[in-house]
């Protein structure tokens, strides 16, 4: 989750412009993929049977009869040939209606049936970007990678992850979009969490607090922890450290090292604000142990060490902070270079992989190394240059 600005190594305005351009390209690709699916359908349908029923469902939706279209699609969902496409369109309709959690479940159903269904992958990536779910995007790309044979599409998958990792969201416009979703799906924890984040970034802490307090009561127990972590951040921003300690003490987390590290960091901040640096130090050490490359945690640890008089270790932690920041900035630099060249060279891929390894993202590093090897093959020239002739 992106919560830091320039101090955490965010790209400059120029870099943001570039990443927004690539985001536009990614969205264009989504449109092309969906259009390709429609063309594939039109090319092979007969006027009877499931294919005709699928066409009828899409015509119903185009005519504004969404619920009738959904019923027609649901009747096709188990068809061996057309079922995956029917479920994909059910997800697309629900997405456009603002039922994002339902859309996600439909698209995952598609991928469980057809792991190579590229349209569902890109639809999910778009959803995860809106809900600020960078880790979920990373996991999805890792899962989809073996099923994507096209070299250009593989590059786009990896680029989309880079965009989400290092592009600061346009929180004002995103907040408006999320407000609609939260009204429609008040028990969608990801949308509520992302909207609270946007409010905080816009300086609307009171709105973030009211939103979280209202929706915590509606949330299923399995999703409460996510909003409680966001609530802890909002409370700390308003100086209410004692409430944060009470909140975090009773917080039950799933087995998620990233979430556990975030809780430890928040606990450390609350202890530090309450004048208990030794307790804060213990919490910060736990956060760093669980998420060693999250340098805002190390920066807090270094600050606390210096407060307690341990200058030597504070300097060592600051050295590590600088290393991780340089790795992130190297990814931004390489991204700008690759964007300007309209595609990566094998050496670019290798350098991106090296930066990811320094950030302890070995799985993503391995994909970039695989891409580097593929780009070295004689038939990869057109994929690198965009020349298909």
Say which CATH number the domain at 308 has. 1.25.40.10
> Do 88 and 128 belong to one domain?
yes
> Do 272 and 369 belong to one domain?
no
Cα distances (angstroms) measured from residue 300 to each of 118, 215, 288: 41, 30, 10
- C-alpha 282/C-alpha 205 separation (Å) is 28
Angle between helices 189-201 and 205-216 (to 10 degrees): 160
> Do 115 and 23 belong to one domain?
yes
Q: Which of 196, 52, 34, 21 lies closest to 122 in space, CA to CA? A: 34
User: Looking at 297, 325, 353, which one is the last position of a domain?
Assistant: 325
Q: What is the pLDDT of residue 54?
A: 83
> Do 159 and 266 belong to one domain?
no
pLDDT tens over the chain, length 389 residues: 443 333 333 334 444 444 444 454 454 444 544 444 444 444 343 345 777 888 888 888 888 888 999 998 998 888 888 899 999 999 999 999 999 999 999 999 999 999 999 999 999 999 999 999 999 999 999 999 999 999 999 999 999 999 898 888 899 999 999 999 999 999 999 999 999 999 999 999 999 999 999 999 889 888 899 999 999 999 999 899 888 988 888 787 777 899 999 999 999 999 999 999 999 999 999 999 999 999 899 999 999 999 999 999 999 999 999 999 999 999 999 988 888 888 899 999 999 999 999 999 999 999 999 999 999 886 655 544 444 43
> Do 189 and 202 belong to one domain?
yes
Q: 46-51 long-range CB contacts below 8 Å, 24 or more apart?
A: 50/76, 50/79, 50/81, 50/82, 51/82
Total residue count of the chain as it appears in this document? 389
Q: Does residue 1 belong to any structural domain of this protein?
A: no
Q: Are 196 and 215 in contact (CB under 8 A)?
A: no
Angle between helices 49-62 and 66-76 (to 10 degrees): 160
> Do 319 and 330 belong to one domain?
no
Q: Are 264 and 280 in contact (CB under 8 A)?
A: no
- C-alpha 133/C-alpha 194 separation (Å) is 9
Q: What is the pLDDT of residue 64?
A: 86
User: Looking at 290, 325, 360, which one is the last position of a domain?
Assistant: 325
Q: Which domain holds residue 357?
A: 326-385
Domains held by the chain: number = 3
> Do 176 and 162 belong to one domain?
no
């Amino acid at each position: 989750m992106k919560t830091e600005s320039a101090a955490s190594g965010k790209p400059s305005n120029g870099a943001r412009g570039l990443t927004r351009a690539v985001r536009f390209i990614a969205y264009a690709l989504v449109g092309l993929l969906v259009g390709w699916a429609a063309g594939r359908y039109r090319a092979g349908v007969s006027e009877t049977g499931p294919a005709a029923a699928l066409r009828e469902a899409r015509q119903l939706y185009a005519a504004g009869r969404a619920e009738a279209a959904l019923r027609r699609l649901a009747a096709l969902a188990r068809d061996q040939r057309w079922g995956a496409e029917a479920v994909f369109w059910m997800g697309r309709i629900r997405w456009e209606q603002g039922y994002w959690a339902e859309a996600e479940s439909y698209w995952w159903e598609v991928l469980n049936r057809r792991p190579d269904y590229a349209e569902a992958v890109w639809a999910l990536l778009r959803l995860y970007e809106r809900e600020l779910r960078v880790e979920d995007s990373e996991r999805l790309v890792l899962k989809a990678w073996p099923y994507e044979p096209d070299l250009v599409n593989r590059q786009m998958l990896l680029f989309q992850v880079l965009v989400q990792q290092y592009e600061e969201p346009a929180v004002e416009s995103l907040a408006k979009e999320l407000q609609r979703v939260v009204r429609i799906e008040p028990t969608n924890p990801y949308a509520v969490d992302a909207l609270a984040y946007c409010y905080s970034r816009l300086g609307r802490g009171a709105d973030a607090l009211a939103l979280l307090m209202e929706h915590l009561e509606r949330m299923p127990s399995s999703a409460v922890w996510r909003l409680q972590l966001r609530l802890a951040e909002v409370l700390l921003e308003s100086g209410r450290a004692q409430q944060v300690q009470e909140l975090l003490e009773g917080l039950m987390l799933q087995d998620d090292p990233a979430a556990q590290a975030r809780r430890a960091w928040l606990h450390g901040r609350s202890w530090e604000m309450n004048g208990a640096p030794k307790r804060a130090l213990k919490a910060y050490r736990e956060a760093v142990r669980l998420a060693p490359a999250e340098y805002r945690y190390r920066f807090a640890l270094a600050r606390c060490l210096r407060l307690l008089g341990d200058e030597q270790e504070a300097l060592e932690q600051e050295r590590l902070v600088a290393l991780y920041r340089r790795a992130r900035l190297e990814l931004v630099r390489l991204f700008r270079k690759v964007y300007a060249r309209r595609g990566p060279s094998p050496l670019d891929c290798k350098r991106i992989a090296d930066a990811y390894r320094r950030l302890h993202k070995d799985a993503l590093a391995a994909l970039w190394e695989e891409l580097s090897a593929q780009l070295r093959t004689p038939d990869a020239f057109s994929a690198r240059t965009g020349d298909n002739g």
